Structure 1
Amino acid sequence: MQTLSDAIKKRVSCRTYSDKPIEEKILQQLESIISAVHEGPFGNKTKFKLISMETISPDQWKKMGTYGTIRGASNFLAGIVSPGPRAMEDYGYCMETVILKATALGLVTCWLGGTFQASSFARAAGLQKGELMPAVTPVGYPASQKSLTEKIMRRFAGSDHRKPWRNIFFIDDFSHPLPENSAGRYREALENLRIAPSASNKQPWRILYDAKENNFHFFVERSRQYKMLGIAHLQDIDLGIAMSHFEITARELTLPGRWKIIPDAPKEKNLEYIVSWQSKY
């Protein structure tokens, strides 16, 4: 049986979909996953709704920003969360977990945040006053060939490339990169974190390993451009996605640990501390 760690390695963003309907058995399993309670490490809950293209008129679909970047998708998964402290991190954590479970069922997806008109999806998803829907994803089977738009977008975003270990993982302080061969039991968890998807493939996470305490401190390197565009929350979602990859792999490897905000966590210029994975507690 495929594990979620396997799904992490298998998952790719897909923008071109087959017209093959999701098999009934698979659809039932997906609906069961979606209907479960989804709560993130910071205590915020995310709910999900599967939106069928059949319930939306062609004119409505054309008004959505996704219409030009996604081809052939018949279903979209919308994630909904209420505002709260670290709600976006929990949103990314929960939605990526659902996406990975869909991947394990043989389905493909593509994170879409800030590239669509939320109001159109909001009506289709039944978004309530005070709720937020920061992202959606198509879900289905891949087409036999990628569209020209997808090929261009993947090349422009560098979707097939990730930052090397030395740029995102550090040991004891940020002047010492953590070598992959020095990561010990956590090598796979960190590697699965490294390959996580992120908005524009920016990979904003920076991880500092405290070798003495065996803790991993999670930081975000903020994009000034994102702040100017009013979409800084996308990087909070990215951090949540990274957290899900790390924890899923650690749990499957039976590595002990829990998420904890440490008041006296290390500080670093131009980085924002978010949370730590505490191995000893």
Structure 2
Amino acid sequence: MKTGIIGTGNMGTILIESFIESKALVPSDVYIHNRTPEKSLKLKSQYPGLNVAANNREVIEKSDIIFLCVKPKEIYSLIAEHQSVFLKEKCVVSITSPITTAQLESLLPCSCIRAIPSITNRALAGAVLVTFGENCQEEWKNQFLHLIKAISHPVEIDDRWTRAASDIVSCGPAFFSYMTRKFIQAAVNETGISQKTAENLASEMLIGMGELLKKKIYTLQSLEEKVCVKGGITGEGIAILEQEIGDMFEKLFAKTHAKFAEDIAEINQQFGA
């Protein structure tokens, strides 16, 4: 299956690297293009045989499935410019949350899918949020799932929960990375432990915690209960978290959803909704 990836920014690059390193795709079956040629050429040096197309049109023409990894506001113009080469037998995958499969189908005759990846997919782990277009062919659903399962656990998501699910799956690693860094820095500031030691210990803790959850040894709640012995040190720490966190996460989701609403309004203007 010839696979095209338009846009080799952070997520486009992660998809290319993950698909090839998981052996889901071979470099010679992948066509890429980016406005900044240096990014594409760097990937080609990593993966000899990778096809660097001269333009977006070439990617679309030579690929069976095309991943659109550009910014949300660039999707409409990209599709409108190359509408004639998105043939019915092809499949288009948009990785941006504000654009619905219905909007893609309003412009395209081919099968349409929205798939929101995560940085965790670079480790061939984590979820990808999937929404199939109403007119997406069963054959393409199956082929897409076969491809995406090589790098992730696909989770089909309703449009109503796209933003919340994306906050957890796609933005979550950045949120929890930030909180972990603050946790480490507090340990350094308050106790004098070295930054390197604290970072190593925190990394091993997160990896171990992930394994406990992956193997279903504990749930999040039961893990907390197992560590938090009544009257112990962990309980004192949890009391501080309960006191200080307050409605921080509610505010976080409110803020991301407000920005999402702004993006949707702009996208709807482009698509004439």
TM > 0.5 = no
What TM-score, normalized to structure 2? 0.26
Higher share of residues assigned strand: 1
Higher share of residues assigned helix: 2
Higher relative contact order (CA 8 A, sep 6+): 1
